[in-house]
Structure 1
Amino acid sequence: MSFFRKLKESIASKAEQVTSKFKDGLAKTRDAFVDKVEDLFSRRKKIDEDFYEELEEILIGADVGVNTVMNLMDELRAAVRKNKIEDPNDLQPILSEKLVELLRGEENNELRMSGNGLTVILFVGVNGVGKTTTIGKMAHRFKSQGKKVLLAAGDTFRAGAIEQLETWGARVGVDVIKQQSGSDPAAVMFDAVQAAKNRGVDVLLCDTAGRLQNKVNLMEELAKIYRVIQREVPDAPHETLLVLDATTGQNALSQAKMFGDKAGLTGLVLTKLDGTAKGGIVIAIRQELNIPVKFVGLGEKMDDLEVFDSEQFVHALFGKWASEMGEEVKE
C-alpha cells in the first residue's frame, strides 16, 4: 500500500470517530479557515512559492501564530521534497497530520487526580473569560461521575463574583464556601479545604480573582493561596488550570504568557471555541507555551465542556477532506 493511501485511510478512519460536539463547536473555524485551505488546494495545480505564501497567510489569519506557521511551512516543504509531491491534494493529509502533531505534545491531557482522598483544582485567568462558568460546568461533570464536589469562592475582589459562583452551585447542586466580598482569598481557601476534609469531598474546585491592574499583587495572592492549600493538602493543588477566551485570539496567548510559570500552570481551558473563526489559536498556545489544553468549551449548555483531543480537533476541522479521502480509499 502506498504512503499516501495509508495516510488517507488513517485520516478517514479517525474522522469517522469525531463527536458531533466537536464538529458543531468548530463550525465557525471550519468555515473561515478550512474552506480557504480547500479552495487553495483545489485552485492551485502545482506546489510553488505562490502556493506556500497563500497557505502561510491563511494559517496566520486563523491565529495559528507566526513562529508556528514558519516552522510548519518548513516541515511541509521538506515533506514535499522527500515524497516528491506535485499535486497539492496529496499535501492535504500531510498538513492534517502535522497539525495533530503540533497539538499532541507529550503531556497527558487527562486531569491529575489525587490517588488518595481530596483532589484540589485551582482556576486562574483574567475577568470575563468564562472562568466561573467553566468551574460550574466542571462541577457538573464531576457530579455526573458520582463524585462529591465543593466550590471555593476565592474571587473576593470582583463585584458579583461570589454570587455568580453561588448561582452555578445552586444549578449544579453543590455547596459554595465563601466569605464577605473583599476578604482574604487565602482565608477562603483555608476554610474550603477544611470543609472539604470534614465533609469527605472528592473534588474541591477553587475560583480566584482575575484582576490585571496590578500583576504583582495578583501573583503574590496566588502564591499565598498555593501555600495555604499545600500546607493543608501536601500534594495539592493537583491541577492549576488557566482559563482563556478563544475568541480573543492572540490576546489569549499574551494572557497565558503573563501567568506563565509564576502561576504554576498545569493545563489550559479554552472557552467559547464555538464562537470564534480563529480556532488556530489552540495550536499557537500549545506550541508557544508547551502547556497542554485539557478542556475546551464548545457551547453554553452545562455539558458543553469537552476533554480536549488533538485528533478530534483537527479531524473535526478537516472532516470534509477526510470524507473525500475515505471515498478515494474505497474506490
Structure 2
Amino acid sequence: APRRALDDEMLEQIEELLIASDMGVDTAMRVTAAMAQGRMGTRVSAQDLRALMAQEIAAIMENVAKPLPIYNKRPQVVLVVGVNGSGKTTTIGKLASQFKAAGKSVVIAAGDTFRAAAVEQLQVWGDRAGVPVLTAPEGSDPASLAFDAMTRAEADGADLLMIDTAGRLQNRADLMEELSKIVRVIRKKDPEAPHNTLLVLDATTGQNALNQVEIFQKLSDVSGLVMTKLDGTAKGGVLVALADKFGLPIHAIGVGEQIDDLQPFDPEDFAAALTGVET
C-alpha cells in the first residue's frame, strides 16, 4: 500500500472525517492530536492510519464500557429516563427479558402514564418475558404508581424493579418535578433508591444526544447510558464524543429489534466498525 509522510494536511483530512462521523469538533481534534503525537513525518499507509485511529478511539471508549452494575439489593431500582422516541420503552423490555433469562425476577412499572402506547408496549414485552407490568390509569400520578410498584417488588422479593418515565422535554420544569417526585416517593421505601438511573439515547440524533445528556443530568442523577438505533443511519461517532465529554458508563447498545439486539458495549469492536478496520 502507498505510504505518505504524516503531515498537517493529512491530519486535517482525518479530523474532517471524524467530524463527519458525528464525533464533534473537540473530540475529533483530540483523537487527531493523539494520533499525531510523536508520529509527524513518519510514513504511513491508509491501513496504518485506520488502525491508529481505531486504537485511539478504543482507548477513549475503554473507560466507559461497563455493564449495568448489579447490587446485592432487593429490589434494585432502575429508573429509566430519556426523550420520547429514544427507544426507552423497548430498552426496558429487552433488559427485563435479558435479566429474566439470567434467572433474576423483575417487576416493571409503566411510569409514562400519559402515553397509552408506551404502557401497551411494555405490557407486550412483559407478557413475552413473563414479567409483571404494573400500570395506572392514563394520566395518573407516576409517583404513586412507582410507590405501588416498589411495594409489589418488595412483597414479591423481586431482584429488580424497572421504572419507565415520561420523556416530554417541552415542559422541563414539569418533568423535573415528576422525576424528583418519583425519587422522593421510592426513597420512603429505600433511602438509597434508585440504584441506577439509565438514560436512553437514540444514536441517530447525532450531536443532539450531547444536549440530551446535559438536560437529563439536570433533571435526574444519570448513572449510565444505553445507546439505541446503532443499526440504521447513525454514524456512531457521537458515542466517542459522549465518552470524551461526560465519561458516563455505556451499559449497552441497541442494534436492532430483537431481544438479543441489545448488547454489551465492546470498545474494540466499536472502534473497528467506526474506522473500517478489518477485525
Please classify the TM superposition score into its range, dividing by the shorter chain length.
Answer: over 0.9
Q: What do you get for the CA RMSD once the two structures are aligned?
A: 1.8
Deviations 1:86-111 (A, max 9, x none): 22444443322110111122x56122
3-state secondary structure, aligned to 1:252: helix
Find out whether 1:51 has 2:13 as its counterpart. no
Q: Which of the numbers 131, 156, 161 marks the counterpart of 1:204?
A: 161
**Paired position in structure 2 for 1:214:** 171
**Does the 8 A contact of 1:44 with 1:51 survive in 2?**
no
Deviations 1:65-101 (A, max 9, x none): 11111112222221314xx622244444332211011
**Does the 8 A contact of 2:50 with 2:275 survive in 1?**
no
> 1:9-28 to 2 correspondence within 5 Å?
none
TM-score by length of 2: 0.93
**Paired position in structure 1 for 2:32:** 73
Give the drift of 1:165. Answer: 1.4
Find out whether 1:63 has 2:29 as its counterpart. no
3-state secondary structure, aligned to 2:71: coil
Aligned residues: 278
Find out whether 1:292 has 2:242 as its counterpart. no
Find out whether 1:167 has 2:110 as its counterpart. no
**For residues 92 and 108 of structure 1, what CA distance do their matches in structure 2 show?**
21
Q: Which amino acid aligns with 2:139?
A: G
**Does the 8 A contact of 1:85 with 1:91 survive in 2?**
no
> 1:1-331 to 2 correspondence within 5 Å?
45-81=4-40, 85-88=42-45, 89-105=47-63, 109-317=66-274, 320-322=277-279
Q: Which amino acid aligns with 1:47?
A: L
**For residues 212 and 43 of structure 1, what CA distance do their matches in structure 2 show?**
51
The structure that has the greater radius of gyration is 1
Give the drift of 1:43. Answer: 6.8
**Paired position in structure 2 for 1:22:** none
Change (3 A) 1:200 1:232: same
**Does the 8 A contact of 2:65 with 2:267 survive in 1?**
no
Name the structure where helix makes up a greater proportion of residues: 1
Q: Which amino acid aligns with 1:104?
A: E
Q: Which amino acid aligns with 1:79?
A: G
Q: Which runs of 5+ in 2 are unaligned?
A: none
**For residues 218 and 224 of structure 2, what CA distance do their matches in structure 1 show?**
11
**Does the 8 A contact of 1:247 with 1:278 survive in 2?**
yes
Give the drift of 1:53. Answer: 1.3
**Does the 8 A contact of 2:75 with 2:153 survive in 1?**
yes
Give the drift of 1:277. Answer: 4.2
**For residues 47 and 321 of structure 1, what CA distance do their matches in structure 2 show?**
22
TM-score by length of 1: 0.79
Give the drift of 1:152. Answer: 0.2
Q: Which amino acid aligns with 2:161?
A: L
**Does the 8 A contact of 2:78 with 2:196 survive in 1?**
yes
**For residues 230 and 29 of structure 2, what CA distance do their matches in structure 1 show?**
24
RCO comparison, higher one (Cα < 8 Å, 6+)? 1
**For residues 147 and 184 of structure 1, what CA distance do their matches in structure 2 show?**
28
Give the drift of 1:247. Answer: 1.0
**Does the 8 A contact of 2:67 with 2:252 survive in 1?**
no
3-state secondary structure, aligned to 2:22: coil
Q: Which runs of 5+ in 1 are unaligned?
A: 1-41, 323-331
3-state secondary structure, aligned to 1:204: strand
**For residues 67 and 254 of structure 2, what CA distance do their matches in structure 1 show?**
16
**Paired position in structure 2 for 1:327:** none
Which deviates further from its counterpart, 219-228 or 264-273? 219-228
Deviations 1:166-203 (A, max 9, x none): 12211222111111011111100000000001111111
**For residues 42 and 186 of structure 2, what CA distance do their matches in structure 1 show?**
56
